[in-house]
């Protein structure tokens, strides 16, 4: 099953819509700048951050190289600890497994810990189709769910909402699905959190089944780990009788010692905290303590295909910290919805086409281009995923996918440019035409902001400067390679810095017109006779010593 939302247009169209919303841009700018600054401050405190980053990448790479072995070890230890392990090839299988377990307990509702894996398989929608309501308990996910909205950030799914919008949603929606928000609710964060706490508390106390993901799964003991900030996860993982955890197969770590590295880099990269407030770890079933029935669904859903891609497989290192989203200039302006995928931002721009394939649809084919390739995402990634390289790799796959069909406008344009660049005569004509185009384009603004089709696809997203009045080639011919001003009889001094005193003259007195004359020999500058300088064009005295 696809990890994209149904009916989403390709990225440029969705991005243009998002850019037209100034309130959205304000919300995003404020939120991303705040998290960015917090992350930068706590990362700067760690003297061996670079080493931790290298270690994180190395542990993930080693694990991925032997993934089959570690997964079997994880299954063996989970089973030995009393959990039931299920293997799901895709979203449909995972959803069926979860729905069957829930139905076997004859319940109509479950509580959920925030989990990207369950979002990826659209579990809530699948459960709803079976008559089961899934209540999100993470505050931001609750806002998204009550607002009938879609998440727009991995860590802060309601980042596109400001607090007065949240207040309106709580007042309007809470009473429809449980305990209503108080009528005098303000938009002060403490009041909003209080309303959410009261609303969720009755759901926690009532629910018999909880569903979670896991940040890490430790193979040597069969232990699952959830890292969170609000405590809702701890409630879900301890109160209900049955716990179902949907875990992507790339979440496995071989040992507890490996976890040490990730517990240092994850909180600082995600929320900009030295340590997250709640870390829950559980190993199977313990009599009289926590859920008495534990299921773990190990989810592939395209991950083994990603593993087979030697360039793209580094995306499986991702620990979903969101640091790359918070620094991305594209994400900061468009927000997460424009990516049309459960995974937004730079990691979404590679993970979505990797999981689904670039030919899966217009969203997948457009996401590798949703980047300026500035490299900020790579700089902050705590497991050193080289997102720009993977983006370029995916762009080449998109281009390759069109080779057999009707050529795109871009392909036709590139072919024409290649023909022009290989012919001096055609290049001269094209440059003249470019200079003349100034007369019709951008005369008033000084910039080109609209071009006719098929070039409109390019100009719809960016302005371009006007072509130069004169091309470099034209200037070169007119001035004899810069040796003359192009105007008869007028001398021109091109370069006069000490050590490189080169006077260019043109006109009847300069002998061979336009030839450079060096230092004292021509202009009386003894100190300028160093013939090793870059202004040199012919052997001077120094060469003969």
Residues interacting with ligand SF4, by CB under 6 A?
269, 318-324, 347, 380-383, 385
Cβ atoms of 268 and 43 closer than 8 Å: yes
Distance CA(503)–CA(494), nearest Å, equals 7
* 400: its two tokens: 């390759």
Nearer CB in complex with ligand SF4: 347/355 = 347
Least distance (Å) between residue 318 CB and ligand SF4: 3
For helices 189-206 and 139-146, angle between their N-to-C axes, nearest 10 degrees: 90
CB of 322 to ligand SF4, least distance (A): 5
Q: What is the smallest separation between the CB atom of 496 and ligand SF4, expressed in angstroms? A: 51
Q: Report the residue number, 146 or 385, with the smaller CB distance to ligand SF4.
A: 385
Phi, psi of 357 (to 5 degrees): 95, 140
Residue whose CB is less far from ligand SF4, 91 or 324: 324
At its nearest, how many Å lie between ligand SF4 and the CB of residue 100?
A: 32
**What is the radius of gyration, based on Cα positions, of the chain?**
31
**Spacing of C-alpha 429 from chain mean position:** 42
> Least distance in Å: CB of 383 to ligand SF4?
5
Nearer to ligand SF4, 192 or 315 (CB): 315
Question: H or E segment at 136?
Answer: strand 133-136
Give the nearest distance from C-beta 119 to ligand SF4 in angstroms: 14
Question: Does residue 163 have a cis bond before it (omega within 30 degrees)?
Answer: no
Retrieve residue 515's tokens. Answer: 């030839």
**CA atoms within a 13 Å half-sphere pointing along the CA-CB vector of 439:** 5
* CB-nearer residue toward ligand SF4: 243 or 380: 380
**Alpha-carbon torsion 112, 117, 122, 126, what sign?**
negative
By beta-carbon proximity to ligand SF4, the closer residue of 246 and 381 is 381
Query: Which sign, positive or negative, has the C-alpha torsion 500, 504, 509, 515?
Result: positive
74 vs 315 by CB, closer to ligand SF4? 315
Q: Which is nearer to ligand SF4, 235 or 323 (CB)?
A: 323
Nearest-approach distance from CB 349 to ligand SF4, in angstroms: 10
CB of 321 to ligand SF4, least distance (A): 4
* Tokens linked to 164: 């007065």
Q: Please count the other Cβ atoms lying within 10 Å of the Cβ belonging to residue 20.
A: 9
CB nearer to ligand SF4: pick between 151 and 516: 151
Dist. CA 320–CA 297, nearest whole Å:
19
**What is the rounded distance in angstroms from the CA atom of residue 164 to the CA atom of residue 161?**
8
Give the shortest CB-303-to-ligand SF4 separation in angstroms.
Answer: 14
Give dist(CA 346, CA 352) in Å, integer.
10
């Amino acid at each position: 099953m696809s990890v994209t939302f149904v009916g989403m247009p390709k990225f440029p169209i969705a991005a243009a819509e998002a850019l037209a919303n100034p309130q959205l841009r304000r919300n995003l700018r404020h939120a991303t700048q705040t998290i960015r600054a917090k992350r930068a401050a706590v990362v700067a405190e760690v003297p061996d951050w670079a080493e931790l980053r290298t270690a994180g990448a190395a542990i993930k790479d080693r694990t991925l190289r032997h993934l089959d072995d570690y997964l079997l070890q994880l299954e063996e230890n989970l089973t030995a600890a009393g959990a039931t392990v299920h293997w799901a090839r895709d979203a449909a299988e995972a959803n069926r497994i979860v729905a069957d377990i829930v139905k076997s307990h004859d319940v109509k509702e479950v509580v959920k810990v925030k989990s990207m894996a369950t979002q990826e398989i659209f579990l809530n929608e699948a459960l709803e189709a079976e008559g089961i309501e899934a209540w999100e308990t993470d505050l931001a996910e609750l806002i998204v769910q009550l607002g009938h909205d879609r998440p727009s950030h991995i860590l802060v799914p309601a980042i596109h909402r400001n607090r007065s919008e949240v207040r309106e949603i709580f007042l309007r929606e809470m009473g429809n699905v449980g305990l209503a928000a108080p009528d005098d609710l303000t938009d002060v964060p403490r009041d909003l959190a209080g309303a959410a706490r009261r609303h969720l508390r009755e759901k926690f106390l009532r629910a018999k089944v909880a569903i979670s993901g896991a940040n890490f799964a430790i193979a040597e003991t069969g232990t699952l780990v959830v890292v969170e900030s609000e405590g809702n996860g701890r409630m879900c993982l301890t109160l209900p009788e049955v716990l179902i955890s949907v875990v992507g197969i790339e979440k496995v770590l071989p040992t507890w010692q490996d976890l040490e590295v990730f517990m240092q880099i994850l909180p600082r990269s995600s929320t900009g905290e030295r340590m997250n407030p709640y870390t829950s770890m559980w190993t199977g079933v313990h009599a009289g303590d926590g859920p008495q029935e534990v299921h773990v669904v190990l989810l592939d859903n395209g991950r083994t295909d990603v593993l087979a891609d030697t360039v793209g497989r580094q995306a499986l290192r991702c620990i979903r910290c969101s640091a790359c989203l918070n620094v991305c200039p594209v994400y900061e302006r468009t927000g997460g919805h424009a990516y049309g995928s459960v995974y937004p931002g730079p990691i979404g721009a590679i993970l979505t086409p990797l999981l689904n394939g670039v030919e899966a649809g217009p969203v997948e084919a457009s996401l590798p281009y949703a980047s300026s390739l500035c490299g900020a995402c790579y700089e902050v990634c705590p497991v050193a995923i080289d997102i720009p390289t993977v983006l370029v790799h995916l762009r080449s796959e998109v281009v390759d996918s069109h080779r057999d069909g009707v050529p795109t406008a871009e392909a036709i344009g590139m072919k024409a440019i290649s023909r022009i660049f290989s012919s001096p005569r055609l290049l001269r004509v094209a440059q003249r035409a470019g200079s003349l185009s100034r007369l019709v384009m951008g005369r008033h603004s000084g910039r080109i902001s609209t071009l006719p089709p098929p070039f409109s696809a390019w100009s719809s997203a960016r302005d371009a400067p006007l072509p130069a009045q004169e091309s470099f080639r034209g200037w070169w011919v007119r001035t004899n390679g810069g040796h003359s001003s192009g105007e008869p009889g007028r001398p021109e001094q091109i370069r006069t810095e000490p050590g490189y005193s080169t006077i260019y003259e043109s006109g009847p007195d300069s002998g061979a017109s336009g030839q450079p004359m060096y230092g004292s020999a021509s202009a009386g500058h003894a100190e300028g006779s160093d013939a090793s300088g870059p202004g040199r064009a012919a052997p001077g005295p120094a060469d003969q010593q």
